[in-house]
Structure 1
């Protein structure tokens, strides 16, 4: 007796008590017979037409409606691969589990798995997109219970550098007042409503090019609103959430005083802080008159690390590799210093919870007028 002949009595027993559609009936035996089409097998096994399926309540006959929801939702997206997650009524799952348990049917796909497969086949056939279960470009969540379809696309991450040629631009953008940066209709779900910062200047062309909702930045150091960033620029990483495009050409772009260069896709943002060195030009004013001989004392900064004390009680050390100074007037000089990244420049000048500070070395109160980044080098 063949395997097919063995299952006929069981199938007849089930369908006499519980009317099942071709998909639900075929699924109970297709793996046992090594068949790929549940519907084809179910059609062969079903003796009588079924008005309403006991398990799925004819959900399989309504898949075209949900296919249209998927097509409408993905209309504005450009991608190659997709994945699907489904939500069905608990009662459907309960009835499916009940029949499998009652007739001791094991090693069978659940109804949720079968629905996912069938709607995936329909979408793939219509769009020529490929199903990817591990790392899809976009993921659909189809709620069969509420008749809703949601789509999330895989975030993309870039590394790049920016230069800032004018003073008055903050590094970070103030979040949207309405949603505190979470994303809402007021800010077009970007989390920011203005673009008057480095963050805004970088985010704006990315939204224009790739679409997406919010951007998440990983900064390699920071600067004051009044500081310039020169040389080859400051490195940064940015992740775009829910982009409409996964790939697009992006050349160097200038937005106001911010120039974005060397932008390229990377696998992910760094999980740990990256080490870097900065070359900084600092303009310093003094209470007492200074001379070139006094400024020579600053060379000693390269001998031992500068110790930084935080209010939290944390202590850190920053190395200074090179120091150059130039007297501008009796009470003003410029210091060019190459230091380990993260040195708090203004506190370094005044000596506020930092040792040694410029003020203590020169033995006169000093104030940082402005400071600019001439170069940022990754270690």
Structure 2
């Protein structure tokens, strides 16, 4: 362990060759002495050896940190957050001069000039705003560039979960991406990745951007439906990740936007990393080319006995269970089929029998098509 008396001669040798400011001089010795303030130690040493001219290492950068603090204040003026961290880009010449002194005088285990500038900016901003410095998992991250005198702020993404009920046909689930950026976010789409809001995704996104601000919204859907399908009951669950939100805590309540009813909106830690298992109750309207034999309809009850096998073009094979079956003939060539099934069963392909076995057409021994299908309930 070093003592103050041991470091004084080294400090004297350094100052004879290189003029240093209080911060840069104190930083060279504060860690070995277990002191928290570089500046106070530097002042103490300067009293012994006299004040210095312009700092050889930082060129008196520490005297101008208030300018960069103002840049941070301006960058964060529209953001609400509790914790933050700071990253900096420093001129290579400053780093090189710092490295050369530490190497010349064999000074090890001390903070670099960049680390010290970063720490000092964090302290100044925390003191000014009462926000908490958290380098590990901050709400917001500043990037201060000392080369071009700029400051950028990026806030950590937040994730919402909720449910939606769609009680009107003709409304797609997913929104078409911005033509210019393919959904990445650009000036044309105001960095949202979409330009229109005429879908379930668009309606929810519109509400989110109004409440939280932010750039793009990335959705994780628990299943999907056709544009012509209804989603009833308690609605379809979804998760949405909002990039760079301006606000992090907003009062959320059930609401209706563009005929989409939203409920159970709440902040969650993250979207599920694995696909969630869910069961859907679905009403399917089916028609056939030839008249339907009522006796054949009874065969549909056997759908609960064995899994439905689904083959994808990729070669992937999956099995889906059907737990409940009800049917009702509504005309000579049409009937409704109500099923309770594992999520992910492709309904139209299931009716036709397109790489799904057994399919409705094969069971009834007649070519069938799905006219429409609605989700009556979805349980995760």
State yes or no: 1:86 paired with 2:88. yes
Match of 1:308, SS state, is strand
Alignment partner, residue 142 of structure 1: 144
Distance 1:302 1:313 in 2: 25
Alignment of 1:145-294 (within 5 A): 145-294=147-296
Deviates more, 1:42-51 or 1:316-325: 42-51
Match of 1:29, SS state, is helix
Distance 2:342 2:166 in 1: 21
Match of 2:378, SS state, is strand
Distance 2:353 2:88 in 1: 60
Deviation, structure 1 residue 308: 1.1
Match of 2:337, SS state, is strand
Alignment partner, residue 74 of structure 1: 76
State yes or no: 1:9 paired with 2:21. no
Alignment partner, residue 42 of structure 2: 42
Match of 1:28, SS state, is helix
Deviation, structure 1 residue 160: 0.9
Distance 1:304 1:326 in 2: 22
Distance 1:292 1:374 in 2: 25
Distance 1:300 1:225 in 2: 30
Distance 1:186 1:10 in 2: 59
Distance 1:271 1:189 in 2: 25
The answer on whether the counterparts of 1:291 and 1:327 sit within 8 Å (CA) in structure 2 is no
Distance 1:298 1:34 in 2: 79
Q: Deviations over 1:244-274 (max 9, x none)?
A: 1111111011112211110111111111111
Alignment partner, residue 33 of structure 2: 33
The answer on whether the counterparts of 1:165 and 1:229 sit within 8 Å (CA) in structure 2 is yes
Deviation, structure 1 residue 145: 1.5
Q: Deviations over 1:198-256 (max 9, x none)?
A: 11111111111111111111111101111110011011111111111111111011112
Deviation, structure 1 residue 73: 0.3
TM-score by structure 1 length?
Answer: 0.97
Alignment partner, residue 335 of structure 1: 337
Deviation, structure 1 residue 44: 2.1
Distance 1:298 1:28 in 2: 82
Q: Deviations over 1:290-335 (max 9, x none)?
A: 1432211111111111111111111111111111000111011100
Deviates more, 1:34-43 or 1:352-361: 34-43
* Gap runs ≥5 in structure 2: none
Distance 2:190 2:140 in 1: 20
* Gap runs ≥5 in structure 1: none
Of 49, 64, 67, the match for 2:66: 64
Deviation, structure 1 residue 36: 1.6
Deviation, structure 1 residue 289: 0.8
Alignment partner, residue 23 of structure 1: 23
Deviates more, 1:196-205 or 1:47-56: 47-56
